[in-house]
A and B are shown apart, each in its own frame.
Chain A
Amino acid sequence: MTIALTVFLAFVASTLGITYWAAKRSRGASAYFAAGRRITAWQNGFAVAGDFMSAASFLGLIGLIALQGFDGIFYAVGGFVGFVAILLVVAEPLRNSGKYTMGDVLAYRLQPRPVRALAALSTLTIATLYMIAQMVGAGALVALLLAGSGIGYNTAVVGVGVLMTVYVVFGGMLATTWVQIIKAMLLLACTVVLTGLVLKHFHFHLLDFFGAASRVAYHQKGELVVKDFLEPGLHYRPPHGPLDLLSLSLIFAFGTAGLPHILVKFYTVPNARTARNSVVWAMIVIGSYYAMTTILGLGAAVLLGPDDIVAHSGTNMAGPRLAQVLGGDIFLGVVSAVAFATILAVVAGVMISASTSFAHDVWTNVIHHGVERSPRESVAVARIAAMAVGAAAVLIAVALGPGSNVLILATFGMAVAASANFPVLALSLYWRRFTTAGAIAGLTAGLAATLGLIVAGPNVMGIDPPGAISRHLIQARPWFPLENVGIVSVPLGFLAAIAGSLVSREPAAEAKVDELVVRANTGLGAERASG
């Protein structure tokens, strides 16, 4: 395991070097919150990819495909589709009309205080859900990687917490961006090699590989079954399965475009044109990555077998274990270190979006009525917020312990983004009649419906047979039948936002529409790059 430690320590050392370099360069609020708006298109593309491809996309996804076949592959497609909405409707107007956060665009023509307060609440909720997923992944990884070394789940969680806090507190957005760029490159390289190793096992005969994936044998309730892993329906079975899938697809189609930690990345580039090109870079990186994970997941199902995965590595560790079987302990070490780097980079990105939202939306605009008293103060507030967010995430992750599939946890965060953030963001940019009441209704309904239905659904509620390994939090029959809440919560978010606008009138908001539309489409008056 020394190789793993070496690779990991080299990554940590180089990222700390970057943090030191960024801290020396970083002067003022725009440098801290938006990397001085000087990131180039390819750099931001890789950074967005590094921000998005989380422990969920690597550890969770491969395990899910290995156990559920095509129903897991659905998540790989879903992770990609949201970027089309980002490219076509969100990235450029956001860059042109905002400053540091999603709240900037929402508050542009509405009453800033209530809208920003709610935007910050939903940002912090998404950040918490995402962080829990990453921390659980980190803990599980260390348990596999350093088994027998005495370093356990809790130590790993605290370690991740301290490192990400250092990146964010000292290096700000510039350090976070470079950590994400390096991580995206490492992850992509690892995936290419691992995919090559899987296909090499089949002498690069693709049809042989898919042939093997079409007859995977494993035990189900004590009986040996053989299933075609390319066939849909292993997990999402009737009666509710198809609806659940539809529900999930709504979350994917709109959720990514509402994720605060992705949106803030478009403030780090000099102009809308660069923002546009950077989304295309991100789509190339993310699309090829997810296309390869379908091979890795099916490869794990074929070469390890679902029985082995369930027995030895658990749902989150199928990828690293595949690396061990194909490339030996050295490659396992490299892959685990890269997975760990993945977690660090995503957690740093989520954390900086949460602390920026607190400093800019809550502190400056809600508490101090939009008067930025000094850039130094807002950066200081963001740093303190980052430390608080880091501490909270560590405590929650330690309290929860290693458990469910990290991909499912991250999907909850994306459900909030799709139901609360996206409807309000899209309507405020594209609907003239949108009002403050509409924004408040949309954000509140989207957030409440998502969280409420998750708690009332089969992920939290259920009756476990005695002796079950994983237990539901609430021992009762679920009130809501679907695992994915999007089919109710996304339309509800839109409807509430539209209804709230229709029952209210806000001449001040309508008067500023022209200004927002002109700025969003031409870049007139947009924030400029600085040192």
Chain B
Amino acid sequence: MPEKYVLEMKDISKEYYGTRVLKNINLAVKAGEIHGLVGENGAGKSTLMNILFGMNVIHATGGYEGSLFIEGEAVDIRTPQQAMELGIGMVHQEFMLIPNFTLTENIKLNREILKPNPVSKIFGKNMRSLNRKAMNADARKALDMLNISIEEYVKVSGLPVGYKQFAEIAREIDKDDLKLLVFDEPTAVLTETEANLLLEAIKSIADRGIAVLFITHRLHEVMEICDRITVIRDGVLIKTKNRQETNVYELAELMVGRKVEKMSRKKRSHAEREIILKVKDLFVDMPGETVNGVSFEVRKGEIFGIGGLAGQGKIGIANGIMGLYPARGEVLIRGEKLPLNDPQKSIAHKLAYVSEDRRGVGLLLDESLEMNIVITAIQNQNKFLHRFGPFSLLNKKAVRKYARQMIKDLDIRCTGPAQIVRRLSGGNQQKVCIARALSLNPEILFVSEPTRGIDVGAKSLVLETLLKLNEELDMTIIMTSSELAELRSICDRIAIITGGRLAGILQPDDSDVDFGLLMSGQKSRKGA
């Protein structure tokens, strides 16, 4: 007897503006099955789900190739409403709840049970009133199924984070015709106990014959509850495996994959050199990238990488040390304590920063290239100025000269130093940011996501520039990146941050398994 699938996705491919983000993905989920979908950020998981839900981004960018089957019938899902009618539900990573509505109201939102009243008899169906009793009973039923004892009439705003997640799930399973429920990294914001409760709930949902698609990068959760697991990497389906036939290590390796083409650098040791930066128990309150107590040391002349998945806190470290987000803890530069939360002090301690948010924080988009390069040096080191007692005036000549030098040294493609940076390409904009950092003559250069939003050719140019600065000027570089491959290609050591904490520090030539495990919050085999 052929197996019956609730959902089948066949040969799904998708292109965004000429870039292929999904290639021939085949995925099938049976009723009552919990199917894990695993992959790094940017692997294509979200795009796949957007296709399943008929999100507008897909159709606005030319649709997709391949076909979708729900219970064996070919469907073409054009809108999220249609997906809902077909019995597909989703529990979102960010909660889609109305804070000032009660649990019941949220659960039954737009599917309220109505009853007629005298007014509605005259003015039509839109005037019917709510049958609160029936609605509460339904909500109760859904909540009980999840083993949640909380009262259905409580307002959502007061609930702890974990319970909000359950409210979302309750809303989905309350739908009578629910066939497939998608969980998009549901445990990301939960504590361990909450996460365990959730996993139990997912199991009981599956036991009722609902197919579950579980997206995550926490491998141990996958191993705990999933029946089958699909690994996606760079838009390609790597493998679908039964749980019994695999283990965490194999999954980790499949997820990270051999993406490093060449290890261009020979191993260097900085063990005898002085410790230039020491970070102790750093906490940074950066929304979405919270750092919860990270400690590490960097030696002079090193290229130190900071990696990890999005939202795990790696971005917060540089932002915290540079004083851009509230931070506490201890940061020592050459043994000297750095006052936190004051960007001026950080710059005065010879730190420079190339932000991950190039267009938001990194550039004055409507100012000239030369002004973008020199402004930090003007403000913090009084360079490029004529001084007349208390007055100062921009030294246009010195600025122009320095800008021309930088354009030449970093090979910035532009029409000249007076060009507005908005008109430059991403790679050249990034070089302008680097040039500005260099104008400060820093000892430690923080670079965050240096290749984000840059086309492939320009990526290696930016990385080469960093390498050159490190080798020729003996500049210590701390590079934060989501792309493990690029960290491994130029860093001496790589710290992996998970859940705002240091998961471990690896060598660039350590195995994919170790990287994969650390990134998914597992202990490395080495016990790093």
A and B assemble together: no
The chain A residues found within 8 Å of chain B, CB to CB, are none
